[in-house]
Structure 1
């Protein structure tokens, strides 16, 4: 009987969504001064500056929501992450898979699956683990193969590396929309369409040109999703679960109990 394996590659997935807009020179980057207002630039120039700003962030709040093909609960990610791999937040696994709270500090990770997560697993193993944990966090090494996929979602450095190393692409058409507002903040929307999929990125029009939100609709297979970025360069909270809310044993030991 194998133990629970929590997997999530949402951070890399979010990176590929960003790359769908920031890669390649469909329109050609051209030249622009660093102090040019962002809304006066071409679509590709804005995309390039947004990519540079994102790569330069030391930390951020990253959220994703991906619609499920079967209409069940969406897959979600809500994490504050930094370049050192520290994070705090939650991952929703979609459908009837439940959700998991996660805190990672250095090489140590704490995870607390909810009741639905345990119900979705093997009934005997899930019930045993739920009883042992009794609502507490499971503490282990970030390198544990059963936790590494989840803790890997905390790696902002990898996310930024994927952005920076992506090869040039000429897929689809990239266009710039009219300056507008998003949650009260001035933004410039960029839209890339390709094979029926529409990806819209809202770039901050004041301050650093960070991407603030990306919406994905259509395509085949259809994959409607939203990625949000905020709280740039604000540190990840350092609070970790206290000992009385933690089971200090690894997954392998729990399985053997």
Structure 2
């Protein structure tokens, strides 16, 4: 599920960045096409980035196994930290990955959506009541700790793979319905950006690229025909936060699997 989520996000970014040549307009600065090309190039070259996906489209709302929102800082070494929220009551999870270690903290709704046969609620209750010293007194739930070798957590490794994201971005299509045109300079969170407007598959597309070099993609939106999606990109080249859940707040995945077998 989660690796597919990353690929879908990358494909969405590729879709938004892969546009037709810009309309020729007398302008002292870079053309719309040049700005889009440089933004894509900088996204392909970065060693790390913080991305956010918000999908309010009709299809996304019905997909329990696909995120309607994703907030991840990730790098080429496979480290990441962030959250995923699924559509249609599919729940959410917190995710941290450092090297080969993976921490995952799903909520009850996630277990119910992901575990087949109506057993999700029972699994969620079992998970909540596992022995974990400090959390037991506060009523909190633990975080699962495992490795990239564990089948339950293996797919999460793909979610944290910036290289895979960039590969999908690189191989995205290269045609659109209309050429890009430059809009008037504006600001997003205090950063000066130039909106690049066009359509793709009949949907309105806007890329917001920094006015100053290096020209980077800050936000991309696409709307129309059941689609309402926004992608934001921040912290190019910034290290992924290295903090991990405290040992007292975690339960080893082996313990969880053992409890599931004996339940």
TM-score (norm 1): 0.83
Q: Tell me the residue number matched to 1:178.
A: 184
Using the TM superposition, give the Cα deviation of residue 51 of structure 1 relative to its aligned residue in structure 2, in angstroms.
0.6
Q: Does 1:51 align with 2:67?
A: no
Cα shift readout 1:67-95 (whole Å, capped 9, x = no counterpart): 15286897111111111010111111122
SS at match of 1:224: strand
Of 243-252 and 82-91, the range deviating more from structure 2 = 243-252
Q: Does 1:18 align with 2:13?
A: yes
SS at match of 2:13: helix
CA contact (8 A) 2:219 2:233 kept: yes
Cα shift readout 1:131-178 (whole Å, capped 9, x = no counterpart): 2276111011224333233332211111112222335x2231132222
Q: How far apart, CA to CA, are the structure 1 residues paired with 2:32 and 2:76?
A: 28
Aligned length: 241
Using the TM superposition, give the Cα deviation of residue 130 of structure 1 relative to its aligned residue in structure 2, in angstroms.
2.7
Q: How far apart, CA to CA, are the structure 2 residues paired with 1:193 and 1:83?
A: 31
Alignment equivalent of 1:105, drawn from 87, 94, 98 = 98
CA contact (8 A) 2:217 2:233 kept: yes
| Closer, same or farther: CA 115–52 of 1 in aligned 2, 3 Å | same
Alignment equivalent of 2:229, drawn from 225, 231, 249 = 225
TM-score (norm 2): 0.81
Q: How far apart, CA to CA, are the structure 2 residues paired with 1:60 and 1:254?
A: 37
Q: Give structure 1 stretches of 5+ with no counterpart.
A: 1-5, 31-36
Q: Tell me the residue number matched to 1:244.
A: 248
Cα shift readout 1:36-95 (whole Å, capped 9, x = no counterpart): x9x722222111101111112111111111115286897111111111010111111122
